[in-house]
Amino acid sequence: MTAEPLLQIRELKTYFHTERGRVSPVDGVSLEVGKGEIVGIVGESGCGKSATAQSVLRLFDEKRLASYEGEIRYGERDLLRLTPKQMRSVRGNEISMIFQDPLSSLNPVHTIGDQIVETLRLHQSIGRREAAKKAVELLRLTGIPAPERRAREYPHQLSGGMRQRVMIAIALACQPQLLIADEPTTALDVTIQAQILELIQDLNRRLGMSVMLITHDLGVVAETCSRVVVMYLGQVVESGSVRDLFRKPLHPYTIGLMRSVPRLDGDRQRELPAVPGSVPPLHQIPSGCRFAPRCPYADDKCRSSQPELAALPGTDTQVRCWHAGRIAGWEAAQ
């Protein structure tokens, strides 16, 4: 870990109280985001990557639905110990978030400009006119052509890519140190995705803003992030530098995930090596290692006791697998 940590999540547990009892979509997650770093969080639907991100900002309804355990250290503070009022000043001001579907996060009856102004004036004591000027600047920063005109338009008048730029502009309004991007390009076409990823990387470099990028697309991680965290069923199963992890994935789940993606340089004649089965629901979590029922390496130990996330000696990589050492050796021997 080279960068100084900005966000440290330790043993975070998020509980949802449902009709079927208590489930924990986030179950003991520890991860760090360094200053100026882009960290990717990957996994399939239901792995808890979005729930982790939303827990950082405590977006779940704590009165009825959710409760948290553990620690989310941001600078000197533990976000889980803040009062609702203190938390409000963190959201959008110090940590911002953008979502997959910008249309449902934008208010359809207000202009783009007004929505940026609202964010600005909520967190900073500046006048209307100044805020309006700043809003246009922000739109310009995100590469929206003719920002003065666009500021007077409504969300439905913009394309998907433009709306995501607007969301980014709103997120940047108060110059947050951390941007949490939850599948920001999943709803977009590839050529537009390329533009948005380019923009996020550019803002990261220019403003030194840290980014937590949640995605299911390994290609996006490989091209934008410096570190990556792989999640399965609410837990981190592997984390490390993007270089190491893509060169030598160690957790059987990571290996399976990577091999199952068709690649542009892959052999088309071969069958895709698919991991068998599917992710079980949260109220049917297998005992022992959660991946064991689908894992080619699983033995009795895996089925009975759960491995911890452990650092692999001499590396940055952490793996939650009883056989990580062996797999590392096997892979090296090949």
Partner 1 sequence: MTIAKHQEVSAEPLLRVNGLKKHYTAAGKTGFRRSTVKAVDGVSFDLREGETYGLVGESGCGKSTLGKTILRLTEPTEGEAFYRGVDLFKQSRRSLQAYRRELQMVFQDPFSSLNPRQIVGQALEEPLVIHGIGGPKERTARAMDILRTVGLQQDHYYRLPHELSGGQRQRIGLARALILNPRIVICDEPVSALDVIIQSQMINLMRRLQTELKLTYLFIAHDIAVVRHISDRIGIMYLGRLVEEAPTDELFANPRHPYTQVLLSAVPVPNPEAAKRQRIVLEGDLPSPLDPPSGCAFHTRCPYATDRCAREVPIHREVSSGHMAACHLV
Residue ranges binding partner 1 (CB under 8 A): 44-45, 145, 159, 161-162, 189-195, 197-198, 216-224, 242-243, 246-247, 256-258, 260-266, 268-276, 278-279
Beta bridge mates, 239: 229, 318
Q: How far is the CB of 201 from partner 1 (least distance, A)?
A: 11
Q: How far is the CB of 55 from partner 1 (least distance, A)?
A: 21
CA distance 48 to 299: 26
Comparing CB distances to partner 1, the nearer of 11 and 148 is 148
Q: How far is the CB of 231 from partner 1 (least distance, A)?
A: 13
CA distance 238 to 129: 49
The residue length of the chain stands at 334
CA distance 183 to 47: 14
Q: How far is the CB of 208 from partner 1 (least distance, A)?
A: 21
On the 0-12 / 13-18 / 19+ scale of CB atoms within 10 A, 11 is: exposed
Comparing CB distances to partner 1, the nearer of 264 and 332 is 264
Comparing CB distances to partner 1, the nearer of 84 and 277 is 277
Q: How far is the CB of 68 from partner 1 (least distance, A)?
A: 26
Q: How far is the CB of 263 from partner 1 (least distance, A)?
A: 6
CA distance 213 to 33: 10
Q: Where are the alpha helices (DSSP H) in 142-211?
A: 147-151, 160-172, 190-207
Tell me the three state secondary structure of residue 229: strand
Say how many Å lie between the first and final Cα of the chain, rounded: 28
Comparing CB distances to partner 1, the nearer of 120 and 167 is 167
Comparing CB distances to partner 1, the nearer of 74 and 253 is 253
Comparing CB distances to partner 1, the nearer of 92 and 240 is 240
